């Protein structure tokens, strides 16, 4: 079987995108070398938490910087930007660590550069590969890519533990520097490997360009985008010459249907640009599936209950495009509206999405799972210190694995449901937001310290839902707002998430420090420590009660998002039928 050059480019870009994603989450391995940073620079725990939060925040706010770069200059220059910034960020941290030069502010700037670089690599790999595949598979594509993004923390933590542990180092008695040289070498490794892979991505990861042909439709113009794969298939057929001269048509009711391509771009005149078609262009992805005659789930009934019949004064002049002239089932939730960023500000779906997307209440748990483990263990047990290290590693692994599986499952399942039943994939986002509440309630409202089995449940759910919302965000942004301004629109949706790691850590830290101060020093506290160890549920429950209340707001917004997108689907179905 001959593999087309287009498919080779498509899948090569996907493989490179996976490598880029696996490296773009390197910031999540911060905990593996934070202790050495603390020792080398004499930082306090608050300093280290602030530095970590700055890195997380820069990854979200970085969308506002790299999004327009991607939209205007494409994936190549976005990857070059990622390579330059990661070289400056991690390379600068390597030099600063080697000489113990610079303070907290300088390291914050360097780590911020590394965070923006991660965002640039993330966005270029995600956007380019999603554009190379049809919208009907965008959930699966984003799920696969982001699964490796979620696994990057485990990948780099294991590399640091096994290759750059520094356990066998002998301290230099003539040196006043603390911290291991292994961490210095690890930072150099991060600099080289990320810069190299980003440059490889800049050369070989390509977004396939689709030719545009002009057609006329009922007196108004439209741009029809034909996939390269469609062209190749037609050219390969022996009857392609005759077919190319005469477009294939069929009839649905009294409506002639012309088989042109998988994607058609319409630019109709508008009466209401806010809730229906927008003022720029709309790409309609037609699914080549058999016409449906029965309803499987409420999605079809919701859509068709208000949709007019495929008749009317405009029905004879309309053109419906499809990959198969006999299969014309229209799916409004695989219809990407290419919206300009400023048009988002008057969209109800945008604001519901922004509020619901601030769903990272799990940050309080992910960033502080080690202190939670210490708080629930018996301080009088001589094995507590060893168990705490082991349990922390276990829960970090559970979170990472749950993150990976959540991204894969949500992407694949959302594609299946949106294709088969015509239901917005935002239903999975809504379900994920509800599930996040379970561990938050467990941590915030347990009468005693949380048990180890419940802690395992919490870690698994936090990881899976955090992964699911991340993967769904990528494909939903394409579903709602299209490909043309994808990078900028991602930034607008995600910008508030940039402040959430800081807020979540701050809320948790305030209540943790208050409980520790009330308790006083414990047997686990060492004279050299600048903080006190906190024991009992009071260390964490107040912070998670607030997180639970905030998550309720996210659940409501996610429910409204699903309702609004289903409503827009009905309107799009009406517009499609009237145009036909």
The pLDDT tens digits for 128-143 are 998 899 888 888 999 9
Tell me how far apart the alpha carbons of residues 63 and 457 are, in angstroms, rounded to a whole number.
Answer: 32
Contacts (Cβ under 8 Å, ≥6 apart) of 383:
none
* pLDDT value of position 513: 81
140 and 185: one domain?
Answer: yes
Dist. CA 423–CA 436, nearest whole Å: 22
Q: Are residues 37 and 79 in the same domain?
A: yes
The pLDDT of residue 42 is: 84
Helix (H, G, I), strand (E, B) or coil at 564: helix
Question: Does 26 reside within a domain?
Answer: yes
Instruction: Give yes or no: residues 82 and 16 share one domain.
Output: yes
> How far is 45 from 34, CA to CA, in rounded Å?
10
Which has more confidence, 509 or 10?
A: 10
Give the per-residue pLDDT at 175. Answer: 65
- Do residues 153 and 62 touch, judged by C-beta distance below 8 A? no
Same structural domain, 44 and 181? yes
DSSP 81-116: HHHHHHHHHHHHHHHHHHHT-S-HHHHHHHHHHHHH
* CA 279 – CA 484 distance, rounded (Å): 13
Residue 199 belongs to a domain? yes
> Do residue 192 and residue 73 come from a single domain?
yes
pLDDT digits over 331-351, tens only? 888 765 688 999 999 898 999
Cα(176)–Cα(113) distance, integer angstroms: 29
Answer yes or no: are the C-beta atoms of 76 and 23 closer than 8 Å.
Answer: no
Pair (77, 220) in one structural domain: no
Whether 115 and 147 share a structural domain: yes
Is the predicted pLDDT of residue 111 greater than 80, yes or no?
yes
CA distances from 243 to 142, 240, 252, 259, 291 (A): 36, 5, 20, 11, 24
pTM, to two decimals? 0.72
What local confidence, expressed as pLDDT, does residue 521 receive? Answer: 57
543 CA to centre of own chain: 26
- Looking at the structure, do residues 246 and 293 belong to the same domain, yes or no? yes
Question: pLDDT digits over 388-402, tens only?
Answer: 878 887 888 888 889
Phi and psi angles of residue 513, each rounded to the nearest 5 degrees, phi first: -65, -35
pLDDT at 57: 83
pLDDT tens sequence across 458-467: 999 999 998 8
Establish if 59 belongs to a structural domain.
yes
Residue 87 near residue 191, CB atoms below 8 Å = yes
Q: Is it the case that residue 298 has pLDDT exceeding 50?
A: no
Residue 511 within a domain: no
Q: What angle do CA 196, 197, 198 make, to 5 degrees?
A: 90
Would strands 248-252 and 220-225 be described as parallel, antiparallel, or unpaired? unpaired
Q: Which of 57, 38, 26, 45 is nearest to 187 (CA)?
A: 26
Q: What is the CATH number of the domain that holds 139?
A: 1.20.1250.20
Q: How many structural domains compose the chain?
A: 2
Phi first, then psi: what are they for 537, rounded to 5°? -70, -20
Q: Confidence class of residue 580 from pLDDT cuts 50, 70 and 90?
A: low
pLDDT, position 443:
94
pLDDT at 468 over 80: yes
Tell me which residue of 191, 190, 170 sits closest to 181, measured CA to CA. Answer: 170
- CA–CA dist 280, 276 (Å, integer): 12
The span from the CA of 150 to the CA of 28, in Å, is 9
* 142, 263: one domain: no
Which span out of 215-224, 260-269, 526-535 was modeled with the highest average pLDDT?
526-535
Nearest-angstrom CA–CA distance, 97 and 86: 16
The three-state secondary structure class of 205 is: coil
Nearest residue to 244 (alpha-carbon basis) of 255, 229, 257, 233: 233
* pLDDT tens digits, one per residue of 396-448: 888 888 988 999 999 999 999 998 888 999 999 999 999 999 999 999 998 88
Q: How far apart are CA 544 and CA 507, in angstroms?
A: 9
Residue with tokens 């109800």: 348
Helix/strand/coil (H/E/C) assignment for every residue in 485-515 = CHHHHHHHHHHHHHHHHHHHHHHHHHHHHHH
Q: Which of 361, 354, 560 is nearest to 477 (CA)?
A: 354
- Domain span at residue 263 reads 212-336
């Amino acid at each position: 079987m001959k593999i087309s050059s287009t498919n080779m480019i498509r899948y090569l870009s996907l493989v490179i995108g996976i490598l880029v994603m696996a490296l773009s989450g390197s910031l999540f391995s911060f905990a593996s070398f934070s202790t050495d940073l603390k020792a080398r620079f004499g930082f306090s725990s608050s300093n280290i938490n602030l530095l970590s939060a700055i890195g997380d925040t820069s990854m979200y706010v970085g969308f506002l910087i790299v999004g327009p770069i991607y939209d205007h200059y494409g994936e190549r220059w976005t990857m070059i930007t990622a390579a330059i910034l990661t070289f400056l960020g991690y390379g600068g941290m390597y030099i600063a660590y080697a000489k113990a030069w610079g303070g907290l502010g300088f390291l914050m700037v360097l780590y911020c550069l590394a965070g923006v670089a991660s965002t640039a690599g993330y966005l270029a790999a995600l956007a380019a590969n999603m554009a190379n595949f049809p919208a009907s598979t965008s959930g699966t594509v984003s799920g696969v890519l982001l699964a490796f993004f979620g696994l990057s923390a485990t990948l780099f933590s294991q590399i640091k533990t096994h290759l750059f542990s520094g356990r066998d180092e002998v301290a230099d008695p003539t040196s006043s520097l603390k911290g291991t040289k292994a961490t210095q070498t690890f930072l150099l490794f991060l600099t080289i490997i990320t810069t190299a892979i980003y440059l490889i991505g800049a050369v070989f990861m390509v977004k396939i360009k689709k030719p545009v042909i002009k057609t006329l439709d009922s007196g108004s113009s439209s741009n029809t985008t034909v996939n390269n794969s469609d062209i190749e298939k037609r050219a390969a057929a022996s009857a392609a010459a005759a077919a190319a001269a005469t477009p294939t048509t069929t009839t649905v009711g009294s409506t002639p249907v012309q088989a042109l391509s998988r994607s058609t771009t319409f630019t109709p005149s508008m009466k209401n640009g806010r809730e229906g078609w927008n003022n720029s262009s709309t790409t309609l992805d037609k699914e080549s599936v058999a016409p449906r005659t029965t309803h499987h789930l409420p999605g079809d009934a919701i859509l068709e209950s208000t949709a007019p019949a495929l008749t009317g004064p405009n029905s004879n002049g309309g053109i419906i495009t499809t990959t198969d002239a006999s299969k014309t089932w229209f799916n409004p939730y695989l219809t990407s509206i290419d919206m300009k960023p400023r048009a988002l500000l008057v969209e109800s779906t945008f604001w519901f999405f922004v509020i619901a997307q601030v769903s990272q209440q799990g940050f309080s748990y992910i960033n502080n799972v080690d202190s939670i483990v210490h708080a629930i263990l018996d301080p009088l047990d001589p094995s507590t210190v060893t168990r705490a290290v082991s349990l922390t590693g276990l829960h970090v692994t559970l979170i990472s694995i749950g993150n990976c599986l959540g991204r894969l499952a949500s992407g694949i399942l959302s594609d299946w449901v949106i294709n088969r039943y015509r239901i917005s994939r935002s239903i999975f986002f809504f379900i994920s937001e509800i599930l996040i509440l379970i561990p938050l309630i467990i941590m915030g409202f347990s009468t005693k310290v949380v048990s180890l089995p419940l802690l395992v449940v919490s870690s698994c759910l936090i990881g899976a839902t955090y992964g699911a919302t991340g993967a769904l965000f990528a494909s939903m942004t394409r579903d709602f707002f299209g490909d043309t301004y994808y990078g900028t629109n991602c930034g607008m949706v995600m910008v508030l998430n940039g402040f959430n790691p800081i807020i979540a850590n701050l809320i948790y830290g305030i209540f943790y420090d208050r409980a520790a101060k009330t308790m006083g020093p414990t047997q686990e506290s060492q004279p050299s420590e600048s903080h006190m160890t906190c024991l009992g549920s009071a260390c964490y429950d107040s912070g998670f009660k607030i997180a639970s209340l905030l998550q309720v707001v996210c659940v409501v917004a996610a429910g409204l998002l699903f309702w609004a997108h289903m409503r827009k689907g009905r309107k799009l179905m009406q517009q499609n039928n009237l145009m036909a």
